[in-house]
């Protein structure tokens, strides 16, 4: 895959401490890119262009995909929006 360390660190899934020398870890990072299939189809090199997936949680400060592995809840950190998200979360009980 030949990720450089900063790119690998960014794309590694939550809970994975990716080792740059481990091909499996690099594949996990690649599949964490929502656009991975199109990205690997580029002739002359490639790089991740999609959004990170958050099936295992995490913080997002860019447009992101939620619900790719089943129902999920995104709770905004903005306090004005936070209370509505918590209200919806409580309705799931």
* pLDDT at residue 47, as a whole number: 76
Render pLDDT for 16-59 as a digit per residue (tens, 0 to 9): 888 999 988 888 888 888 877 777 776 666 678 777 777 666 66
pLDDT band at 71 (very low <50, low <70, confident <90, very high): confident
| Percent of the chain predicted with pLDDT > 70 | 83
In contact, 56 and 14? CB cutoff 8 Å: yes
What are the phi and psi torsion angles at 19 (to 5°)?
-105, 120
* pLDDT at residue 93, as a whole number: 62
Write down the mean pLDDT value for the chain: 78
- Per DSSP, the three-state class of 37 is helix
How is the chain split into domains, by residue range?
5-43+50-90
Helices (H), the chain: 5-11, 23-31, 36-40, 79-90
* pLDDT at residue 2, as a whole number: 78
What lies within 8 Å, CB to CB, of 53 at 6+ separation is: 13, 32, 33, 34, 64, 65, 68, 69
Residue holding tokens 């998200």?
85
């Amino acid at each position: 895959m030949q990720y450089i360390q900063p790119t690998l660190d960014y794309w590694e899934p939550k809970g994975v401490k990716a080792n740059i020398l481990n091909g499996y870890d690099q594949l996990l990072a690649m599949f964490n890119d929502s656009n991975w299939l199109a990205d690997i189809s580029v002739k002359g090199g490639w790089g991740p262009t999609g959004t990170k997936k958050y099936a295992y949680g995490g913080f997002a400060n860019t447009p992101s995909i939620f619900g790719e592995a089943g129902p999920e809840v995104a709770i905004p950190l903005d306090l004005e929006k936070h209370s509505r998200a918590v209200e919806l979360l409580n309705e799931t009980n």
